[in-house]
Amino acid sequence: MIRCIKCNDVSSISKAGKVDKKQRYFCKNCNIHFTIPEKREDLKNESEKKQNVTIKDIAEALQISFSTVSKALLDNPVINPETKKKVLNMAKKMNYQPNLNAKSLVKHSSNTIGIIIPSIISSSFYPEVLQGVQEILSEKKYNSIICLSHESYENEIANCNQLINNRVDGVLISITSKTVETAHINQFKEHNIPFVFINRAPETIEASRVTVNNYDAGCKAVEHLIEQGCTRIAHIAGPPNLIFSKERLKGYYDTLIKHKHTIDQSLIVYNDLYTDNSKECIEHLLNLKNKPDGIFVYSDFIGIELIIAAKERGIEIPSQLCVVGMGNNPVSAIIEPQLTTILGPTLEMGKIATELLIDEIEGKNQKITNRLLDVELIVRKSSLK
Amino acid sequence: MIRCIKCNDVSSISKAGKVDKKQRYFCKNCNIHFTIPEKREDLKNESEKKQNVTIKDIAEALQISFSTVSKALLDNPVINPETKKKVLNMAKKMNYQPNLNAKSLVKHSSNTIGIIIPSIISSSFYPEVLQGVQEILSEKKYNSIICLSHESYENEIANCNQLINNRVDGVLISITSKTVETAHINQFKEHNIPFVFINRAPETIEASRVTVNNYDAGCKAVEHLIEQGCTRIAHIAGPPNLIFSKERLKGYYDTLIKHKHTIDQSLIVYNDLYTDNSKECIEHLLNLKNKPDGIFVYSDFIGIELIIAAKERGIEIPSQLCVVGMGNNPVSAIIEPQLTTILGPTLEMGKIATELLIDEIEGKNQKITNRLLDVELIVRKSSLK
DNA sequence: GTGAAAGCGCTAACAC
DNA sequence: GTGTTAGCGCTTTCAC
């Protein structure tokens, strides 16, 4: 026998489907739908699945309202310290874990940042950057979602959308070597999501960026090779559409010109990260009739390949060929001969970019920042004649 | 002049605070609170912040109900194809991005898995595993949250809580070398979150795990060293509380015993990943009066350090000392002499564990699986007398 | 100091 | 085939 919860009538009641597994009723008099309130305990029998503890459960256990529980949990000063203590204890006792999805929904912010990087296995560069990022993140109590674009433009677009869907509070991004259009990145602006470029940035977008001084890297490398007496200096350059490649190349050019060397286009080759043509690049240079006596390679990884290939051909390093790499890959210090390299502060880069981003998220910094980090030449055997 | 939205009376109305920046009213007759409905456009003037597009916005633009929009977006077959097309077009036009937090809240699942690993920079092992994980994840349309525990037990506990708070659908975990208690991991069970161990697993928890055949690795390494004529075979072992260390050590023991070698405890040293005592381990072995003539090192990284240290002391490899590492670090193939190593399928490990986890999440697999992956000995110069 | 209620954006059960 | 409604777990405003 069901009574209307409003008019208390019995005859006017009809069944009206089910809601949340409970019978729903309709009162013709009052024109309202209702269900018979049950205690949460009773439900447990129906659905065996153990539900997560919510603030409502804590409230019920303590016989107080759930908004009081919420306030206590948020350390709202208006709440009685006694009550707060009771709530905190009960939360612990019941093993309460707040639902961050619900919180994000009402707060319009997720306390999470997104990270888009091209790769995690091709070198130790991005792992080190990530390490720096994570250090700041855990210090500032932010979470992260990491996306790998695998140097694919399509993946990068998908990653951007995913991060928007997840309503991240901000994004750190290092673009792929294929990224030319940037509409997908500009989407973040439409959604009021701040973003900071790490290491690789497009020229066309106005946004903060943290990069190493690639121009200076090119200068330092070539300057050093010239000092060592090299006269035909080649360059294995990075993907041509990435700024860092262009800048290192410009440093290479300018330094050669400064020292009145002639520029020989056959001494410049470009690496494609997606197809990975590093072997071809190396072969091209080593097969030249008029061989180079110094090579600045934009990455240690390929520098190491170059050393191995040269040794196989009986080319003596450094007496016949000096090699300078970049990145300070751990291997560089181990191979024979040890590879001269240019060191950029990878861990620092991750840290600085993350701090910058969080400042933007928290409104502490509005203006666009362009951080250029210093590089350092580490001279080793591969370039010491 | 405000009228009650129910009884249409004017005199019974009083103001009752504000809700969502709109005036709220109370009708004494009907005992109800209400606000005067406004169009969303009007609100825009008040709050300049551009809001994200929601299904309600699409519904309004199309003059249909938002649940129809929801169904259309979810490709519910009940919806008229015409309507569906209109909705899809409008969603695209308005640049609609669904709010995954809201979806997670309703669906009680986030389509996201959590990953807890100890480190990302100490070797290429975890980056490669992650690569495999991400490949499956993007194929199966899952997202991920990556946590780094930095070999710290406290961090691992915090990571577990974070993942529970984020309501991930499942967890991949590789425990720290310090993890002995496992209550924090068992919490996942209480929250109905399936988890799979990768590479490192505690002995005490019943859960699926994907590991390499570490016992066999120990056997293969020592067997090979014995074949090469080594008679005093040492072992640099991993952290003693990790199963993989124990198993490799057991392989080492059993193979020595099988070949009637005597066990000399001074030939066994343990690496502590947290303090990183690898230098001390190496020095201990190389300083022994009665030096070993073969060493099985549990990781290539330390194997490489060992080779360098031995060369510095003028110990000839392999004639005076054979070295076998494990992990097939890219450097192993490059140093001089090249390091013999044991190769485990890292990428595969990530893939298999992820597939296993997703199957558990989707209820396709209930039973606990214990996948043991085969290892392979790669013989190089460092162990070939 | 506490409680009631609205609403974040969405899904799904049900009514029509 | 479309619309109405409740509810996911939480924060926040306002009433008392």
Q: What is the pLDDT of residues B252-289, one digit of tens each?
A: 999 999 999 999 999 999 999 878 898 899 999 999 99
Q: What is the mean pLDDT of residues B176-199?
A: 92
* Whether pLDDT at A325 is above 90: yes
Q: What is the mean pLDDT of residues A265-284?
A: 91
Q: What is the mean pLDDT of residues B3-16?
A: 49
DSSP string, A64-101: S-HHHHHHHHTT-TTS-HHHHHHHHHHHHHTT----HH
DSSP string, A98-126: --HHHHHHHHT--SEEEEEES-SSS-SHH
Question: pLDDT tens for residues B40-97?
Answer: 333 333 334 467 899 999 999 999 999 999 999 999 999 999 999 999 999 999 999 9
In this structure, the number of other CB atoms found within 10 A of the CB of residue B170 comes to 25
Question: pLDDT tens for residues A302-314?
Answer: 998 899 889 889 9
State the average pLDDT for chain B.
87
CB contact under 8 A, B97 and A191: yes
Task: Give the pair of three-digit tokens for residue B226.
Answer: 């014995």
In terms of Cα–Cα distance, which of B106, B26, B51, B47 is closest to B74?
Answer: B106
Angle at B303 between CA B301 and CA B304, to 5 degrees: 70
Q: Name the phi and psi angles at B344, rounded to 5.
A: -110, 150
Q: Which residue is nearest to nucleotide C2 (CA to C1')?
A: A68
Minimum CA–C1' distance nucleotide for B71: C11
pLDDT of residue A230: 96
Q: Which CATH architecture has domain B107-212+347-373?
A: 3-Layer(aba) Sandwich (3.40)
State the average pLDDT for chain A.
87
The number of helices, as runs of H, and strands, as runs of E, in chain A is: 13, 15
Question: Are β-strands B268-270 and B341-343 bridged in parallel, bridged antiparallel, or unpaired?
Answer: unpaired
Give the CATH fold of the A214-344 domain: Rossmann fold (3.40.50)
Residues 50-69 of A with CB under 7 A from strand C: 64-68
Give the CATH fold of the B42-98 domain: 434 Repressor (Amino-terminal Domain) (1.10.260)
User: How long is chain B?
Assistant: 385
pLDDT of residue B1: 38
* Whether pLDDT at A83 is above 50: yes
In terms of Cα–Cα distance, which of A115, A89, A182 is closest to B146?
Answer: A115
pLDDT of residue B7: 44
Within this chain, domains A107-212+347-373 and A214-344 share the same CATH topology:
yes
In terms of Cα–Cα distance, which of A200, A203, A205, A176 is closest to A188?
Answer: A205
Spacing of A220 CA from C8 C1' in Å: 55
- CB-nearest to A131 from B104, B120, B143 is B120
CB contact under 8 A, B121 and A134: no
Which chain C positions come under 7 Å from a protein C-beta? 1-15
The band of B150, judged by pLDDT with boundaries at 50, 70 and 90, is confident
Task: Give the pair of three-digit tokens for residue A176.
Answer: 């792929």
Answer yes or no: is A99 CB < 7 A from strand C.
no
Residue A142 identity (one-letter amino acid): Y
Bridge partners for A172 per DSSP: A115, A196
What is the C-alpha separation between B66 and B60, in angstroms, rounded?
8
Q: With contact defined as beta carbons under 8 Å apart, do A237 and A245 qualify? A: yes
CB contact under 8 A, A128 and B121: yes
Bridge partners for A342 per DSSP: A377
* Whether pLDDT at A20 is above 80: no
* Whether pLDDT at A133 is above 90: yes
What is the C-alpha separation between B280 and A164, in angstroms, rounded?
49
* Whether pLDDT at A360 is above 90: yes
What is the C-alpha separation between B313 and B297, in angstroms, rounded?
18
Q: What is the mean pLDDT of residues A136-161?
A: 91
B161: which chain A residues are within 8 Å (Cβ-Cβ)?
A: 97
pTM here is: 0.80
Task: Give the pair of three-digit tokens for residue A117.
Answer: 């990087």
B109: which chain A residues are within 8 Å (Cβ-Cβ)?
A: none
Q: With contact defined as beta carbons under 8 Å apart, do B245 and B298 qualify? A: yes
Map residue B145 onto helix, strand or coil. Answer: strand
Question: pLDDT tens for residues A183-212?
Answer: 999 999 989 999 999 999 998 899 999 999
In this structure, the number of other CB atoms found within 10 A of the CB of residue B285 comes to 23
The band of B6, judged by pLDDT with boundaries at 50, 70 and 90, is very low
pLDDT of residue A43: 37
What is the C-alpha separation between B285 and B68, in angstroms, rounded?
73
pLDDT of residue B336: 79
Q: With contact defined as beta carbons under 8 Å apart, do A230 and A259 qualify? A: no
CB contact under 8 A, B127 and A121: yes
- CB-nearest to A145 from B131, B145, B336 is B145
Q: What is the mean pLDDT of residues B235-264?
A: 94
pLDDT of residue A52: 87
Q: What are the extents of the domains in chain B?
A: 1-38, 42-98, 107-212+347-373, 214-344
Helical H segments across chain B, by residue range: 40-46, 55-62, 66-73, 81-93, 100-107, 125-139, 153-165, 183-190, 214-227, 243-258, 278-287, 300-312, 346-361
Percent of chain B with pLDDT over 90: 69
Spacing of A73 CA from D11 C1' in Å: 11
Question: pLDDT tens for residues A206-257?
Answer: 999 999 999 999 999 999 999 999 999 999 999 998 888 999 999 999 999 9
* Whether pLDDT at B30 is above 70: no
How buried is residue A150: exposed, middle or buried, by Cβ count under 10 Å (0-12/13-18/19+)? Answer: buried
In this structure, the number of other CB atoms found within 10 A of the CB of residue B183 comes to 8
Question: pLDDT tens for residues A275-296?
Answer: 889 889 999 999 999 999 999 9
* Whether pLDDT at A23 is above 50: no
Q: What is the mean pLDDT of residues A342-370?
A: 93
The band of A4, judged by pLDDT with boundaries at 50, 70 and 90, is very low
